[in-house]
Amino acid sequence: MSALDWLLEDDAPGVQYLARLRLLGESPDSRTMTSLRRRCNDYPPVATMLHRIDRSFRLAQRRQVWNTTGNYDKYRGAYWTLIFLADLHADGRDPRIKRLAEHVLATQLENGAFSPSETPRFEIVCLTANILRALVHFGYGDDPRVIRGYRRLAERILPHGGVPCIILETCLHTSCKMTLPQTLRCLAAAPPGVPRGELARLRTLLVDQLRAVRVFRYVRPDVAPYREAVRRRRKGVAERTVRLNWLNDHPVPDDRLVPKPGWLRFGFPRSYNPDLLEAMLALAELNVPHDPVFDESLAHIEKKRGPDGRWKLDASLNGKMLADIEKKGRPSKWITLRAIMVLNHFGRIGI
């Protein structure tokens, strides 16, 4: 059986739907696709998540279950469950998903962003991007709250010249490289109401940054000595001061950056920390054309294909989510789907 035939089996309706749509070009309005969309919520991981969020809402009528901390709870809270359901291609017409989406939107900051603490101080761009992409998938693309969220991404990213993050205070980047894939996937899903000029500037800026680090080579080689310098700093010297002095005294060009090891292990679903495959998927979803700088990443994807044409699940959040998804170390339909979509887009495989 070919890998494509395997993806078209009936046991994972979301995989089959996306394979037909993205690889075979089937109309989403066909009878088969309409039926598959209705069946997506019967997929066991989706059905389990929906059952458990429904139970959480019923419990919340008696006491607060998803409180401020619980909404972000990794990876069972309302935020992550909404994101994972979108990754699984769940059908947003289900009233349980609509209730979850409205619950999440009720926590949106006035400026349009989302925060683990639901306070502006801890606003996080990658969380906002992940939630916005999920909301668009579930039919909220024309909702003013979603449009406001996209505008906030532009307000945060463009003046900074990259993705800002509070965690950067303790690392050696001026903008976050790790979360570029999530932000780019959010841009790929942007609805028509998002200003096109802002969208184009964001896309150009972030795609260029991913190119500059050859997709997955964004770790500075001097992190260990920097952390030692932080540890040995004189009493009363702020870590921020050590960081600024280190950056001034130890410039590192992009071509000396090394790979992020975890990015070479493919997982599904991903959280705030993606992988090389999701980064390349983001570029494919944005319809970015082939560039020789992507060849190392494409070769790594090809190298991980098994003799049966399938890819394994290397990294997993099983045991941490409301439902397990596939088995770690076994061939994965979701990883295989993503890999074939990427290789097909960049002309490395024919369908």
Give residue-wise pLDDT tens across range 16-75.
999 999 999 999 999 999 999 999 999 999 999 999 998 877 766 544 555 555 789 999
Q: Is pLDDT of 101 > 50?
A: yes
Handedness of CA 7, 186, 327, 70 (dihedral sign): negative
Q: What is the pLDDT of residue 63?
A: 47
Tell me the mean pLDDT in the region 113-122: 92
Residues 6 or more apart in contact with residue 142 via CB below 8 angstroms: 191, 192, 193
Tell me the mean pLDDT in the region 68-95: 92
Tell me the mean pLDDT in the region 262-271: 96
What are the chain's domains?
Answer: 3-219+257-345 (1.50.10), 220-256 (no CATH)
Enter the pTM of the model. Answer: 0.94
Q: Is pLDDT of 169 > 80?
A: no
Q: What is the pLDDT of residue 66?
A: 56
- Position 301 confidence tier, pLDDT thresholds 50, 70, 90: very high
Give the lowest-confidence range in 62-76, 144-158, 219-233, 279-293: 62-76
Tell me the mean pLDDT in the region 87-111: 97
Q: Give the chain's mean pLDDT.
A: 93
Residues 6 or more apart in contact with residue 101 via CB below 8 angstroms: 82, 92, 134, 135, 138, 140
Q: What is the pLDDT of residue 325?
A: 98
Q: What is the pLDDT of residue 62?
A: 47
- Position 240 confidence tier, pLDDT thresholds 50, 70, 90: confident
- Report the interhelical angle of 95-105 vs 125-137 (nearest 10°): 150
Q: CA-CA distances (angstroms) from residue 345 to 282, 298, 303, 342?
A: 11, 11, 17, 5
Tell me the mean pLDDT in the region 178-191: 97
Q: What is the pLDDT of residue 349?
A: 87
126-157: per-residue pLDDT in tens?
A: 999 999 999 999 999 999 999 999 999 999 99
- 14, 325 Cβ separation under 8 angstroms: no
Q: CA-CA distances (angstroms) from residue 295 to 27, 45, 217, 242, 347?
A: 31, 34, 13, 37, 11
Q: Is pLDDT of 255 > 90?
A: no
